[in-house]
Chains A and B, each alone.
Chain A
Amino acid sequence: MALAAPGTLPLMDESHPNDRRQRLLDGMRAGMPFAVAGGLLALSFGVVAQSAGLSAGEAIAMSAIVFAGSAQFTAIAIIAQGGTVAAAVLAAALVNSRFLPMGVALGPSLPGGPMRRAAQGQAIVDASWGIAGRGDGTFDRWLLFGSTAVQYVGWVGGTIAGALGGNALGDPKALGLDAIYPAFFLALLIGELTDRRSRLVAALAALIALALVPVTPAGVPVLAASLASLVGLHASARADARARTDGR
């Protein structure tokens, strides 16, 4: 993954409408496999949510309104164990906290005022964020929108199927559906391991997360593991030093 020249990167979205439409379609195409995978997972959410006390309509409404798979599963698990709504919402916030650094990374690539950017930020989901990354620290928002749109359809569609036909599905765990989420993330990770530095950061992040699992609430290990990306500061310092040496 090549770094841009030292200094700054320009914002890029002055493209022709036809080009935007094409990138939107490209995003939809790239997001399709993740939409199918998410749809399979949402099947099990539709079943699990009802066993935790939600009606079929409420399970579907939750997917349509919240649209954050891992947070939804976490919140439902806490309610199913007899936890309070406050505890479930807090856990969902912690699990979703990974979207904070993703949003910070995405922000400079979005045009418009603060509220418009915040609205566009709602399109952040894991796979789309990965797909939209240009590899130079900037993001293509049309790829993001296209990829998220098809994943939204997959997620809500899967929940509807699971909520309305869940009895025919049987036990989601016996079907191995709980393995879909980590497999989904592993497929994303493999696409990101392009050089020695990314592999080092991934290994470091995995170690940080595993070390924190026994001692912190759900969500914190993943958020803390994002600190492994600070390895990039070392690369930045080296690039600066090289630029200064070349400038002499």
Chain B
Amino acid sequence: MSTSVALITGCAVVTYAIKGIGPLALGGRDLPLWFTSVVILLAPALFAALVVTQALADGKHIGIGADTVGVAAGGLVAWRFGSVIGCVVVAALVTAGLRAV
């Protein structure tokens, strides 16, 4: 098996397993209030962590780069105008512009 095939197969297997295990284990049952209260807050927790780890971290180092400024500019667009496409386009343009100067 080539490296590429092993890589694709391995990534596919772990992804399918991780996405499937929650629905496989928990389903067809009513939700207790404590569970609901936690689930509602999972989205802001996960999305906030994804933003900071990708916009502020470079490997194991934390710092501010052109992409951080770009993401902040994109965030302003998302906040003011509610446009996802505007957000990512502005983030890319500002980041590219800062790297070009």
A contact residues vs B (CB 8 Å cutoff): 1, 3-4, 6-11, 33-34, 36-37, 40, 53-55, 58, 61-62, 65-68, 70-72, 75, 79, 85-86, 88-89, 92-93, 96-108, 110-112, 114-115, 117-122, 124, 126, 129-130, 133, 135-138, 173-190, 192-193, 197-199, 201-206, 208-210, 213-215, 221-222, 225-233, 235-237, 239-240
Contact = CB atoms under 8 A, between A and B. Distances in A.
Given A40-B88, A210-B56, A222 B46 contact: yes
A3 B23 contact: no
Interface of B: 3-8, 10-12, 14-16, 18-57, 60-62, 66-67, 70-71, 74-75, 78-79, 83-85, 87-97, 99-100
Contacts of B25: 104, 107, 114
Chain B's interface: helix, strand, loop or mixed, by majority? Answer: helix
A104 to B, nearest CB: 4
Given A37-B85, A186-B74, A222-B53, A114 B11 contact: no
Contacts of B26: 104, 107-108
Shortest Cβ-Cβ A-B pairs, 9 listed: A103-B22, A137-B36, A176-B95, A225-B49, A118-B20, A176-B96, A107-B26, A183-B91, A89-B10
A177 B54 CA distance: 12
B44 A193 contact: yes
A202 B31 CA distance: 23
Contacts of B88: 37, 40, 179-180, 183-184, 187
A111 B91 CA distance: 39
Contact of A117 (B7, B27, B44): B27
Nearest to A194: B44
Contact of B8 (A61, A119, A180): A61
Given A3-B33, A182-B55, A189 B48 contact: yes
B3 A85 contact: yes
